[in-house]
Amino acid sequence: MNEKQYVNAIAKKIKCTDKRKKEIKRQLLTDMEMRIKQGEKLEEIISQMGTPEEIAAGFNEEISIEEQRQYGRNKVLKIIVSIAVILILLGGFGYWIFPKAANIEQSGYFDRQQVENAMKETVELLDTEDYMALQENAIAKMKPYLTADKWTEIKAVFSDDWGEREQFGAIYMAEIIQAGRHSVVGEMTVTYENVSVTYRLTYDENMRFAGIYLR
């Protein structure tokens, strides 16, 4: 366990607002990094500080009952909103009823390398929060979901802190044909510092961003 993972484990158990939680994480990381620079070993620092449960309990004792209740309400709301958003995104796949899958190598519409590049670019834009660029290349139905607020909610379902992106995994894709329309669906797992996320991305025959599902 590194210092970021240790601090994240503490933060997950603190019942406070996101703003205060970020400040606590910042302070803890700053203190630990200073001690490491002074020559202390991470294992010794963690041993002296205590378990994440112990430290979080100390913080929670100083947090008002009202704020803890608000934390509980916000947590439930996030879960409800995130599930609703995911269901809406999944609804974008409704036209897949009885679709026909075709080998991408035999497609007259899509090129494997072009699709792979588009998928990586989409993930990079999401990671850098460039929602304007995402909306410019998305179909109309996708644009309302490509905003900072929506993606903050969706990302929180997996973790409050994904960390930096470390690598892209293998990419699988297929052409989908339905009612005379062609689209391409690709899936890949992306590894971040604190979480791994599998993206399923859809593009229409003009390579416009047309759908997304995360797991």
| Average pLDDT of the segment spanning 173-193 | 89
Provide φ and ψ at 58, rounded to 5°: -65, -45
Give the chain's end-to-end CA distance (angstroms, integer): 24
User: CA neighbours within 13 Å on the CB side: how many for 134?
Assistant: 26
Query: In whole angstroms, what is the distance from residue 35 CA to residue 214 CA?
Result: 38
Is 43 or 166 the better-scoring residue by pLDDT?
Answer: 166
Per DSSP, the residues of 8-40 read: HHHHTT--S-HHHHHHHHHHHHHHHHHHHHTT-
- Identify whether the C-beta of residue 202 lies closer than 8 Å to the C-beta of residue 93: yes
In angstroms, the CA 186 to CA 172 distance is 5
Residue type, 35: R
Instruction: Compare 92 and 152 and report the one with higher pLDDT.
Output: 152
Give the count of beta carbons closer than 10 Å to the beta carbon of residue 67.
14
Q: What does the alpha-carbon distance between residue 57 and residue 70 come to, in Å, rounded to a whole number? A: 17
pLDDT band per the 50, 70, 90 thresholds, residue 140: very high
| Distance between CA atoms of residues 82 and 16, nearest Å | 20
Residue showing tokens 């990671």: 127
Given a cut of 60, is residue 145 above it in pLDDT?
yes
Give, for 77, the enclosing helix (H) or strand (E): helix 65-91
Task: Set out the domains of the chain in order of their start, with CATH numbers.
Answer: 3-63 (no CATH), 94-214 (3.10.450.590)
In this model, does residue 129 exceed pLDDT 70?
Answer: yes
Q: How far is CA 31 from the centre of its chain?
A: 27
Most confident of 43-57, 82-96, 200-214: 200-214
Please give the average per-residue pLDDT across 82-91, as a whole number. 58
Please tell me which of 46-60, 100-114, 192-206 the model is most confident about, judged by mean pLDDT: 192-206
Q: How many helices (H) and strands (E) does the chain have?
A: 8, 5
Mean pLDDT score of the chain, rounded to an integer? 82
- Please enumerate in sequence order all residues whose Cβ is within 8 A of that of 78, keeping only pairs 6 or more positions apart, or say none: 153, 156, 157
Token pair for 40: 């202390």
* Residue bearing the bigger pLDDT, 167 or 53: 167
